[in-house]
């Protein structure tokens, strides 16, 4: 079953083509990595697929239904979660940060508390429940951000370089935990990164973007091992990926 389909999608603000994707289908439960040089269109693609940015032309189908950022219904929006490079936490406790999405959905307090506690435990941050963002390390803040995104049980998770700036041991541990959670819950995931080690570990499929176009698409390990001539990003950096 397909989760996302893009058809003849373009993004051309002020007449300049930033993104051009003739066709892309992502199946339910698939973990898709997106790599490319700065300006290749990675974050733009993520914003458009997550319905945070309107495309210039083309179609986006979510579970075979046509959707658009300008008129997406709330029920569809609530099936998606987004985690950014910076945690961007609210100025309240860790518990209330993780609970925020559930509160917006009108979930009763007792039910909210139960769900939040489950995800605090899964992300190993139960001991931080009463702490405020200013007292968190970078790794702790990103764990809170992930818990806030996952507590709503999204069908699709969008990750835009969420581990940039974290020290290596913290990054590796978070990657392991996140991979287990994604697989256990069959979450469809789009994962943007500059780090081939990250995508090699966590994704099953890899898209290589160059100048707004997908120049290679295939199983992650195969793409990294055998990049085509157009996949310049992989050619330049694959020696650091394995």
What are the CB-based long-range contacts (under 8 Å, 24+) for 225-234?
232/37, 233/35, 233/36, 233/37, 233/40, 233/208, 234/35, 234/196, 234/208
Q: Among residues 12, 9, 19, 15, which one has the least CA distance to residue 39?
A: 19
Residue 164: predicted pLDDT: 84
Q: Which residues of 97-129 are buried (b: 16+ CB within 10 A; e: fewer)?
A: bbbbbbeeeebeeeebeebbbebbebbebeebb
- Residue 12 CB partners (closer than 8 Å, separation 6+): 18, 56, 57
Residue 170: predicted pLDDT: 86
Residue 239's pLDDT band (boundaries 50, 70, 90)? low
Residue 199: predicted pLDDT: 93
Average pLDDT over residues 5-28: 94
- Does pLDDT of 2 surpass 70? yes
Residue 215's pLDDT band (boundaries 50, 70, 90)? very high
Please state, for a pLDDT cut of 70, what percent of the chain lies above it.
Answer: 98
Would you state the structure tokens that stand for residue 93, as one six-digit string? Answer: 């406790």
The neighbour count for residue 172, using CB atoms within 10 Å, is: 15
Q: Among residues 177, 110, 186, 98, which one has the least CA distance to residue 144?
A: 98
Alpha-carbon distance 67 to 147, whole Å? 27
The neighbour count for residue 64, using CB atoms within 10 Å, is: 9
Tell how strand 65-67 and strand 80-83 pair up.
unpaired
Contact 139, 166 (CB under 8 A): yes
At 136-184, the pLDDT tens digits run 998 899 999 999 999 999 999 999 998 887 888 888 898 999 999 999 9
Q: Within its chain, how far is the Cα of 234 from the centroid? A: 20
Q: What is the mean pLDDT of the chain?
A: 91
Residue 238: predicted pLDDT: 66
Residue 240: predicted pLDDT: 57
Contact 105, 180 (CB under 8 A): no
Alpha-carbon distance 102 to 191, whole Å? 24
Alpha helices in the chain (DSSP H): 42-49, 74-77, 94-104, 109-122, 138-150, 168-185, 196-202, 220-225, 232-237
Q: Which residues pair with 19 in a beta bridge?
A: 11
At 36-89, the pLDDT tens digits run 998 899 999 999 999 999 999 999 999 999 998 888 888 888 899 999 877 788
Residue 16: predicted pLDDT: 87
Tokens 């699709």, residue? Answer: 156
Residue 143: predicted pLDDT: 92
């Amino acid at each position: 079953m397909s989760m996302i389909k893009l058809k003849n999608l373009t993004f051309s603000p002020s007449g300049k083509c930033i993104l051009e994707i003739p066709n892309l289908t992502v199946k339910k439960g698939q973990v898709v990595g997106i790599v490319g040089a700065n300006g290749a269109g990675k974050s733009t693609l993520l914003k458009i697929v997550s319905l945070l940015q309107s495309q210039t032309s083309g179609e986006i189908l979510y579970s075979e239904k046509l959707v658009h950022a300008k008129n997406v219904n709330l029920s569809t929006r609530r099936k998606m979660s987004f985690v950014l490079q910076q945690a961007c936490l609210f100025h309240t406790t860790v518990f209330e940060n993780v609970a925020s999405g559930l509160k917006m959905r009108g979930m009763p307090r007792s039910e909210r508390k139960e769900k939040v506690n489950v995800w605090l435990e899964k992300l190993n941050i139960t001991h931080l429940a009463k702490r405020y963002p200013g007292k968190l390390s970078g790794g702790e803040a990103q764990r809170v951000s992930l818990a806030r995104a996952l507590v709503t049980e999204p069908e699709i998770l969008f990750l835009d370089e969420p581990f940039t700036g974290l020290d290596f041991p913290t990054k590796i541990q978070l990657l392991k935990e996140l991979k287990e959670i994604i697989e256990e819950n069959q979450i469809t995931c789009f994962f943007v990164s500059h780090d081939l080690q990250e995508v090699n570990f966590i994704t099953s499929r890899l898209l290589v973007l160059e100048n707004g176009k997908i120049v290679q698409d295939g199983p992650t390990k195969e793409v990294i091992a055998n990049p085509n001539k157009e996949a310049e990003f992989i050619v330049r950096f694959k020696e650091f990926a394995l």
